[in-house]
Structure formats: structure tokens, C-alpha cells
Structure 1
Amino acid sequence: MIERMSMLALAGVLAAVAAPAFAQNAGLEPNFGSANLTVGFTPDPWSIDVVAGGDRDAARLGRGCVGKISDAPDFRLTYEAGSLPLVFRTRSGDDTTLVVNGPDGRWSCDDDSFGDGDAEVRFNRPQSGVYDVWIGTYGDTPATGILILTETP
């Protein structure tokens, strides 16, 4: 019985070690800061300057995720939701992508939905909690840009 439990424990450890790590490191300090916002925030839109890009391939996070992102989030939003939608957008002279890990742990990604190479991730019924945000680029060259948050898309 003890041998069987030891074998199961060993198998669990080996599976954990052999499994690829799909999550970005949300435990790291965000590259460009954080904010606490409540539904109805002003000003709307709310924005922050960022430098997009990194050395991690966002495609490993799931369907629709593309671009190169950093290990640490670029921005962290703690949000108190209400009845309004919550929208994350990028604005840059370069083609940027967007990766958002919501309070439920799900990944939401986009490339070009905001038009002209800019990305948009929309939560029509946002949850209260922490949203970690990564802004990506194609290739290895970082890009300056703006992360925009709005409830009035």
C-alpha cells in the first residue's frame, strides 16, 4: 500500500515537472503599473503609456493568442464590476496584440479587432477582481503604445 502511494506521488511530481508551463508569471510586478477602478470610473477612457513586446510566445496560451509578450504582466487592473462592459484596447503605430487573464483565470486574446493593427478585448459582463494584461508585438522589436480601458465602447 505504501509503495503504491509512493508511486502515485512520484508520478504526480514527474507529470508536474514534465508538463509545460502555460501561464505567464502574474506574480511578478507589472511592467507599467496597476490601477484600482470601479464601474463608472472617470476619466473614461482611462489610458497608460506602455512598451509592448517581450521574449515569450503568446501562442502557447491558447486560441487567438499571438505575438511576443513579457513574462511579467504589463499592467494589472483590480476592478469592481457593475452592469457596464469593460474593454481593453491598444493604440500604437505598430501592430500590437493583447492578452488578458481575467479574474476567473481564463485567457482572452486579440489581434487587430480595434482596427489598423490595434487590439481589443471586451468583457460584456465583467467580473470583479484582478485582470492581468500583456501587450504583444510581432517579432523581437518592442513598440511604444497606449493601453486604453473603457466602459463606453
Structure 2
Amino acid sequence: MAALAVTVPVVAQNYNRNPAFGTFRLGAGFSPDPYSINVRAGGTRNAAQLGSACAGSIADAPDVRIQYQAGSFPLSFTVRSNSDTTLVINDPNGRWYCDDDSAGNLDPLVRFNQPSSGQYDVWIGHYEGGSGVRARLDVSEY
């Protein structure tokens, strides 16, 4: 996995809220791959509250929710932007994953080699602490 899992005793992020940019259902072998969603990154909360591996400013509610039916493929989340973005994911098992620059060019990547079926709540952060930053979330099985 390209990102670190973090243990969070107290979580301020509210994955029960509706995601700002929608809920999407994807199953193994989905097309197109990557599945791309345009978002606005950032927010007013410091992602570091989730653990030392987390960085940037994120919103309270998720930006995107992916309902995923797993198969035998890995599942990757990558953010593309002209700004320095970060990524925070709460997986179907309630574990938190964070990344800053694993995809290169200041782009984050979280890869699940053996993903679980279920709900993935995704926050796209902005490293410099801003909000409203244009970004694209790519979800892929490659």
C-alpha cells in the first residue's frame, strides 16, 4: 500500500455527512478506468488531527463517497492538480489512510492491493491550507 494507515482515537471528520461532490458506485472491472471526478480540494480542518501521516487542510464532510464491489484487482485513488494536494480515505473497515506525494509531482496516491467491498469516504486536502482548489480524483484498478 502506498499510504500509511493511521489509528485515530478521536475523529473530527464526519463520514456520516453527505459528500460534497457525490456518491459513486463502482464494481470490479469498471469502465472507464480511471473513473474521474472533478472536485474542489481543501477545507478548514487540519488533516494532521487524524495522525502524523496526514497533512493539509480538509473539509468536515467527505468530498467523494465510493461504494465499491471488490473483485481480484487492486484499487487506487490518485489526485491530480496544479496545486499541492493530499488524500485522506476512510475504508470500509473504518481504517484511515493518508498520503501526500506518492504519485509524484505533489500528487497523492492511496492503493489498496486487496480492497474490501463497501464504502470508501474520500477527502482531498490542500497542503498549503487553502480551500476551493481545483483537482481531479482518479479511481483505478490498474
TM-score of the aligned structures, taking structure 2 as reference length:
0.90
Aligned to 2:48, the other structure's residue is in SS state helix
Is there any run of 5+ residues in structure 2 with no aligned partner, and where?
A: 1-8
Question: 1:120 and 1:85 mapped to 2: Cα distance?
Answer: 13
Alignment-mate amino acid for residue 140 of structure 1: G
- Call closer, same or farther: CA 1:106–1:120 in 2, change over 3 Å: same
In the alignment, does 2:121 pair up with 1:132? yes
TM-score of the aligned structures, taking structure 1 as reference length:
0.84
Alpha-carbon shift at residue 141 of structure 1 (Å): 4.1
Alignment-mate amino acid for residue 133 of structure 2: A
Partners of 1:87 and 1:120 within 8 A in 2: yes
Q: Say which structure is richer in helix.
A: 1
Is there any run of 5+ residues in structure 1 with no aligned partner, and where?
A: 1-19
> For 1:142, which of 122, 132, 140 is the aligned residue?
132
Number of residues of Structure 1 aligned to a counterpart in Structure 2: 133
Q: % of aligned pairs identical? A: 56
Matches within 5 A, 1:87-126: 87-126=76-115
Q: What does the per-residue CA deviation read over 1:77-118, in whole Å, with 9 as the maximum and x for residues that have no partner?
A: 000001100000000000000000000000000001011011
Partners of 1:62 and 1:107 within 8 A in 2: no
Q: Say which structure is richer in strand.
A: 2
Runs of 4+ in 1 over 4 A off after TM superposition: none
Q: Which has the higher contact order (CA 8 A, sep 6+)?
A: 2
